[in-house]
Amino acid sequence: MIDMKPPLTHKVPQHIAIIMDGNGRWAQSRGEPRVHGHRSGAQRVREVVEAAGQQGVKVLTLYAFSEENWQRPIEEVHALFSLLVSYLREEIERLHENGVQLCSIGAIEKLPEDCQQWLRVVEERTRSNQGLKLVLALSYSSRTDILRAVRGIAAAVKEGTLDEQSIGEATINSYLSTNLLPEPDLLIRTSGEQRLSNFLLWEMAYTEFYFTKVHWPDFSRADLEAALSDYAERERRFGSIHPQ
Ligand code: FPP
């Protein structure tokens, strides 16, 4: 039988945002400590970054550590940042060779010094790459980002550099840490939870959501492709009656 479906490339999301959830449960279901789940999760990051680039995705934003995650036990927080440093150190050349450009959003100044340093090194090394833009959301809170934008706008109005009447959506966009990124087309959240958890709240007004029960440490290239196929079937109307 001939498959009449259009090739996936017709509707590849430009920007995918992922909430990589379920590391802890994945580990605990195997009788392992939570950090084992994070370690396996970090391996999946390598695979998914490569697969997203190969599928033609332009931007991939990964929610790697939320502002709220600081409340976790200190050993887990340390383990997460140590995994991040290992990832950056081990992947820097591969990211560069694959044309990936790495950047970060969130309160980076709160991260351990070695983590900040490695982020700077990889960002600098990959700065002029034209392939996939990999955005790591670290110590990130969307409400904090919006608050910071509101304060910035208020200060500009007070200084007289911004006219209150000219404030529009574009003004708010320009004050957010995501100002250089397109809005996410597709949000993927793993492990069966169905919430946003303070991630890109303003930016996801018209994002398509894809929830899967698969825990992040099991989320493979094939799972990403399943999400992309699902997205390709969707009709996006952005509030109008016509597909756009
Ligand atoms: C959520 O699972 C996952 C995190 C809070 C951290 C995500 C981090 C990684 C995948 C590894 C390091 C990142 C990079 C970019 C190399 P959870 O611990 O909340 O799982 P649970 O809900 O089952 O407890």
Is 136 touching ligand 1 by the criterion CB < 6 Å? yes
**Residue 179: active-site member:** no
Average pLDDT, the chain: 95
Condensed to tens digits (0 to 9), the pLDDT of residues 18-77 reads: 999 999 999 999 999 999 999 999 999 999 999 999 999 999 999 999 999 999 999 999
Is the pLDDT reported for residue 2 higher than 60? no
List pLDDT tens digits, range 64-87.
Answer: 999 999 999 999 999 999 999 999
Dihedral sign of CA atoms 146, 150, 152, 153 in order: positive
Q: Is 114 a catalytic site residue?
A: no
Give the integer Cα–Cα distance in Å for 114 and 83: 12
Question: How does pLDDT run across 103-128, given as a tens digit for each residue?
Answer: 999 999 999 999 999 999 999 999 99
Q: Which fold has domain 15-143+183-232?
A: Undecaprenyl pyrophosphate synthetase (3.40.1180)
What's the average model confidence in pLDDT over 213-229?
98
- Whole-number Å distance, alpha carbon 65 to ligand 1 midpoint, is 7
Distances (CA, A) of 187 to 8, 13, 34, 63, 138: 17, 10, 24, 11, 17
The residue among 194, 198, 102 whose CA lies nearest residue 146 is: 198
Domain range list for the chain:
15-143+183-232
Is pTM beyond 0.85 here? Answer: yes
Residues 156-171 as b/e (b if ≥16 CB within 10 A, e otherwise) read beeeeebeeeeeeeee
The pLDDT score that the predictor gives to residue 25 is 98
- Predicted confidence band of residue 170 (pLDDT cuts 50, 70, 90): very high
